[in-house]
Amino acid sequence: MQQCLLDSGGVGGKSTPLAGIVPRAAMPHRALCLIGDGAGGAGSARWTRPLAGRVLDRLSRPAALIEGVDLHLGDPGLVARAQDARAFVLLLPPLGNLSNAFYRVHPRRNDRFIAARAPLRALFPEVDFAPIAFTGHALDTLWATCPERFALVRQELEHAWRARMQQLLALLPPHGVLVDPLSPGWLVRPALTDARGLPRVALGDRQGAVQRICATLGSGGAYRRTQ
């Protein structure tokens, strides 16, 4: 479920700090937290370390870790919700969980490997793609088969991932934090050259991530209500 933090909420408050607001047209998201939905009360929310920790807990769940950028971009309700939000916390999508020139993934379950395209079959003629159902299995197999040829696949993945991430960030509020989960060394997410200076923190460094989220989105930062 995509999460929205309400202006009137906060740890110890009466409202639920991570209340799910999902319009009928929206797809479920677990890797994106939109902060402030434009329908809150008169006060400013209290952004605290426990609240930042709860956000990280949401983003650490297995269902969030597999969400690809295609899911976000394919959500017809995301634009409206993002326009009402003031900030966001985004778990960076896996590099391989997106359709590209070499293979197709499921439009909603982006970890599902649907089909290898002709260029991939030509590049790896010895690989039988019929029993492969998940992107992780596919990429592990390709890398183990030939790291040199896999480098061409990775180059395409990086190109597609960067392009679509720029599209996604253009839809989100100007203030936010990017959270980077641990990945295999041969499948690390590349740098985003045009990420508006958004801080990027490691999911594994919980203390550092909590501190950065609080510093970026706290009471003195982007989340303060404009008077």
Q: What is the pLDDT of residues 53-97, one digit of tens each?
A: 999 999 999 999 999 999 999 999 999 999 999 999 999 999 999
Taking the C-alpha atoms of 148, 152, 155 and 160 in order, what is their torsion angle to the nearest 10 degrees? -150
Query: Could you list the residue range(s) of the whole structural domain that residue 127 is in?
Result: 103-154
Q: Are residues 39 and 137 in the same domain?
A: no
Q: Is residue 223 part of a domain?
A: no
- What confidence category does residue 220 fall into, taking pLDDT thresholds of 50, 70 and 90? very low
Q: Are residues 83 and 166 in the same domain?
A: yes
Mean pLDDT of 207-219: 86
Buried b (16+ CB within 10 A) or exposed e, 208-219: ebbebbbebbbe
Q: Are residues 82 and 166 in the same domain?
A: yes
**Residue 3 in this model has a pLDDT that exceeds 50:** no
- What confidence category does residue 20 fall into, taking pLDDT thresholds of 50, 70 and 90? very low
- What confidence category does residue 22 fall into, taking pLDDT thresholds of 50, 70 and 90? very low
Q: Rounded to whole angstroms, how far apart are CA atoms 24 and 67?
A: 20
Q: Rounded to whole angstroms, how far apart are CA atoms 49 and 215?
A: 10
Q: Is residue 222 part of a domain?
A: no
Q: Are residues 10 and 45 in the same domain?
A: yes
Q: Whole-model pTM above 0.85?
A: no
What is the DSSP secondary structure assignment for residue 20, as one 8-state letter? B
Tens of pLDDT along 105-161? 999 999 999 999 999 999 999 999 999 999 999 999 999 999 999 999 999 999 999
Phi, psi of 97 (to 5 degrees): -95, 65
Q: Are residues 170 and 85 in the same domain?
A: yes
What is the DSSP secondary structure assignment for residue 91, as one 8-state letter? E
Residues, the chain? 227
Q: Are residues 30 and 52 in the same domain?
A: yes
Residue type for position 211: Q
Q: Is residue 225 part of a domain?
A: no
139 contacts 183 by C-beta, under 8 angstroms: no
